[in-house]
Structure 1
Amino acid sequence: MDIKKVDDQFSIMAQPGIDDIEQLANAGFRTIIASRPRNETDDQPDTESLKNKAESLGITWYEIPVEPGKYAHEDIEAFASALQSSTDPVLGYCRTGKRAIHLWAYANAAYSSVADLLGRASAVGYDLEPLRSDLETYRDQVGKS
């Protein structure tokens, strides 16, 4: 299990298995945000089983399923809302962690500099430089609302 701490509130990882959920609870995670659609691949663990296991251990579960590279405003808002209303620490996951880190960056674009977001993502192994312009545009749009 490779958990990557992005900041004090949020960490990411690739797809957890059912046995990982108890380890995540023992590690102190209180919220999980799943960004992977159910049944995306045949080898994907059953999301309902993961959710039930997490909730039985007192972990709050959110599902914000997105396809790679397709981040609707509603998805970003849902992710931001989940982060803001969650008990820390929060773990986000998808197949590889990439969608989770992308959604985290968009959700924080209105509150943090884009350079800082890119730096935090880079520090845990994700290059968000290709999203820089989109993050800046999103920040500017959200700032005007």
Structure 2
Amino acid sequence: MNITKLAENYSVSPQIAVQDIATIKEMGFDGIVCNRPNGEEPGQPLFDELMLEAANQGIDIVAIPMNGPEVTMPMVEQFNQFMQQHQRVFAFCRTGNRSSIIWKAALAVN
């Protein structure tokens, strides 16, 4: 995984695989945000597959899918609520860009 740390409590990466969730937990993250929609590209795991493994690993995961760089206020509110409930959050999308955009948008409204 190519991880970019944006804050002490928030890091982003491109698409993860199901087996990466155990590593994410070992790294000390207690929450995962998925910012890509299901079926965006062939071969990406479905959110349900990631959610099942996250449950097996004892780590929370939420889907806040973004189609392109547009962020809505409900997305930001959901993101902020998830961030407030977790110590360290790991977010991903196809490239990591949308996960960075939603974080910046959340900072702008706080």
Q: Considering the TM-score relative to the shorter chain, is it more than 0.5?
A: yes
More helix by share: 1
CA distance in 1, matches of 2:11, 2:53: 19
Equivalence for 1:118: none
Pairing of 1:111-122 with structure 2 (within 5 A): 111=110
Q: Count the aligned residue pairs.
A: 110
| Deviation digits for residues 49-70 of structure 1 (CA, Å, limit 9, x no counterpart) | 1111012111111111110122
CA distance in 2, matches of 1:28, 1:73: 29
Larger radius of gyration: 1
Equivalence for 1:83: 83
Show structure 1 runs of 5+ residues with no match.
Answer: 112-145
Equivalence for 1:45: 45
Show structure 2 runs of 5+ residues with no match.
Answer: none
Equivalence for 2:30: 30
Equivalence for 1:99: 98
With normalisation by structure 2, the TM-score equals: 0.93
The alignment partner of 2:90 has SS state of strand
- Confirm whether residue 18 of structure 1 aligns to residue 18 of structure 2: yes
- AA paired with 2:27? A
Structure of higher RCO (CA pairs closer than 8 Å, 6+ residues apart): 2
Contact 2:34 2:91 in 1 (8 A): yes
Please list every run of at least 4 consecutive aligned residues from structure 1 whose deviation after the TM superposition is greater than 6 angstroms. Answer: none
- AA paired with 1:90? V
| Deviation digits for residues 9-60 of structure 1 (CA, Å, limit 9, x no counterpart) | 1010111001211111111111001111111122211221111101211111
Pairing of 1:62-81 with structure 2 (within 5 A): 62-81=62-81
RMSD: 1.1
Contact 2:11 2:89 in 1 (8 A): yes
CA distance in 1, matches of 2:14, 2:22: 16
Q: Percent identity?
A: 30
CA distance in 2, matches of 1:69, 1:61: 21
CA distance in 2, matches of 1:103, 1:17: 21
CA distance in 1, matches of 2:25, 2:48: 17
